[in-house]
Amino acid sequence: MNFDLPEELQDIKKLARDFAEKEVLPTVDADDKAHRFRRDLVKKMGELGFLGFVIPEEYGGNGLGYLALAIVCEEIGRVSSSLRVVFPANILGPGLAIWRYGNEELKRKYLPGLTSGELLGCFALTEPNAGSDLASMKTRATLNGDYYVLNGSKMWISLSPIADIALVYAYTDPTRRVKGMSAFIVDMKSDGITVEPIKEKLGLWSSPTGIITFENCKVPKENLLGEEGQGFVICMQQLDNTRLASAAGAVGIAQACLDAAIQYATTREQFGQQIGRFQMVQDWVAQMVVDIEAARLLTYRAAFLKDKGVPNTRETSIAKLLASEAANKCADYALRIYSAYGYSEEYPVARLFRDAKLYQIVEGTSNIHKLIISQDALGYRKANKSF
């Protein structure tokens, strides 16, 4: 067992950190306050190859794998959770689904743009009454000649107000429950699509979120991924991968909280000494360090298993759960160390605290991951099934 990163991945980590600190960090707070998404930064990420790790070279990627992606997700998430959203929205959602299940025309049409950052994607799964309960989805796709006619509504869809394409899940045969679910690639400029931005959010102010409504939207039948009824399998595979990006992003934000806490604790003085000298502050710092180290190793393990091509739902859920909880714990402790200053938007801890909360919700809530892990341990439902 070797815990050392290969030299190539060490170089990628350094490249990602340099990019995040030089290109993203200088304007991250201003962008956040202005609710400004930086599409120019996405294109730079594409130029650096960050969006092509899990896509073959023939379609614009570089094929370096999931561990490379997790490392870069962590570094980007450490500086901007809003920008980190691009990884699941572009590649781990639509990109991988197109590569695995799309026809050659779809691959040639969309994958180079998604990996270069010229195109922005999103995936439309959640509905007003169907979050964790996918089976209660109401969106329908009905075949009519050369087109599927799409009707329904999707909610809390990251990047949907600015996305070029969407991976959309809908029922083609609702009588079969999840076996009647299908997946489609939809051009977001198609007639019959309206997007309403969700403007009031707790965090990720630089990452636009919206409600998508489909009203008799025509989708070419060639945009069906795989076959009718394969949507649930595609969705489960997608979530296994987008959850890795969430775990890595959560590790990043936890590390940012620790970095900020250490910087403040070693410069702020009270009662004649640095507050880092106080035992209670040291207790918080120690807990943060331990949780971050554990979450990072578990996230890297999940990525390693993905690169090996073995089932890893259990390991991915473990990593996502621990990393999400660690991010929130570290944000809480960092705010306590900053005290009143942490409550001010003048310091980054307030943004980190707001952004951390999302990780307990997105890509399966913490409670959903507890169910996956516990039911596997109890033998009620094995997590690592081959789809």
pLDDT confidence tier of residue 385, bands split at 50, 70 and 90: confident
Can you say whether the dihedral through the CA atoms of 344, 345, 346, 348 is positive or negative? positive
Give kind and range of the element (H or E) at residue 301.
helix 279-308
Question: Of the candidates 229, 262, 281, which is a domain's last residue?
Answer: 229
Name the one residue in this structure whose structure tokens are 């009454």.
Answer: 129
pLDDT value at position 136? Answer: 85
- The answer to whether residue 338 sits within a structural domain is yes
Residues 245 and 268 in one domain: yes
**Burial category of 111 from C-beta neighbours within 10 Å (exposed 0-12, middle 13-18, buried 19 and up):** buried
Which residue shows structure tokens 């596997």? 376
Q: pLDDT over 70 for what percent of the chain?
A: 99
pLDDT at 131 over 90: no
Confirm whether 62 is domain-assigned.
Answer: yes
Q: According to the model, what pLDDT value does residue 182 have?
A: 98
Task: Give the bridge partners for 147, in sequence order.
Answer: 144, 220
CATH code: domain of residue 67 = 1.10.540.10
Residue 152: which CATH number? 2.40.110.10
With 60 as the cut, is the pLDDT of residue 323 above it?
yes
pLDDT for the residue 387: 57
Beta strands in 159-283 (DSSP E): 165-171, 181-187, 193-197, 209-220, 224-225, 269-270, 273-274
Q: At 145, give phi and psi (nearest 5°).
A: 70, -120
DSSP 3-state helix, strand, coil percentages of the chain (rounded to 5)? 60, 15, 25
The verdict on 252 and 368 lying in the same domain is yes
In percent, how much of the chain has pLDDT > 90? Answer: 95
Nearest to 165 by CA among 112, 124, 122: 122
Contacts for 295 with CB less than 8 Å, ≥ 6 apart: 247, 250, 251, 254, 319, 322, 323, 326
* 130: DSSP letter: B
Average pLDDT over residues 355-368: 96
**Interstrand relation of 193-197 and 181-187 (parallel, antiparallel or unpaired):** unpaired
Rounded mean pLDDT, 332-336: 98
Positive or negative, the Cα torsion across 22, 24, 27, 28? Answer: negative
- Would the pLDDT of 374 be above 90? yes
Do 360 and 237 fall within a single domain? yes
Domain around 167 = 122-229
Are 257 and 352 spatial neighbours (Cβ–Cβ below 8 Å)?
A: yes
> Which pLDDT value is given to residue 3?
86
Indicate whether 64 and 153 sit together in one domain: no
Select which of 23, 74, 315, 363 is catalytic.
Answer: 363
Residue linked to tokens 């690592």 = 384
383 assigned to some structural domain: no
Mean of all residue pLDDT scores within the chain: 96
pLDDT given for residue 207 in this prediction: 97
Q: What is the pTM of this model?
A: 0.95
Query: Count of domains in the chain?
Result: 3
Q: Give the per-residue pLDDT at 359.
A: 97
**pLDDT digit string, tens, across residues 195-246:** 999 999 999 999 999 999 999 999 999 999 999 999 999 999 999 999 999 9
Report the 10 Å Cβ neighbour count for 136. Answer: 11
Task: Tell me which residue of 52, 135, 43, 64 sits closest to 306, measured CA to CA.
Answer: 64
- With CA atoms as reference, report the closest residue to 376 among 328, 331, 312: 312
CA separation for the pair 41, 46 (Å, rounded): 9
Out of 96, 120, 144, a domain closes at 120
pLDDT digits (tens, 9 = 90+) for 38-55: 999 999 999 999 999 999
Helix (H/G/I), strand (E/B), else coil: 204 = coil
Q: Is 127 a catalytic residue?
A: no
The per-residue DSSP string of 94-120 comes to IIHHHHHHS-HHHHHHHHHHHHHTSS-
The DSSP element (H or E) to which 196 belongs, if any, is: strand 193-197
Largest CA-CA distance found in the chain, in angstroms, rounded: 79
Q: Does residue 386 surpass a pLDDT of 70?
A: no
Contact 84, 261 (CB under 8 A): no
Segment 244-303, tens digit of pLDDT: 999 999 999 999 999 999 999 999 999 999 999 999 999 999 999 999 999 999 999 999
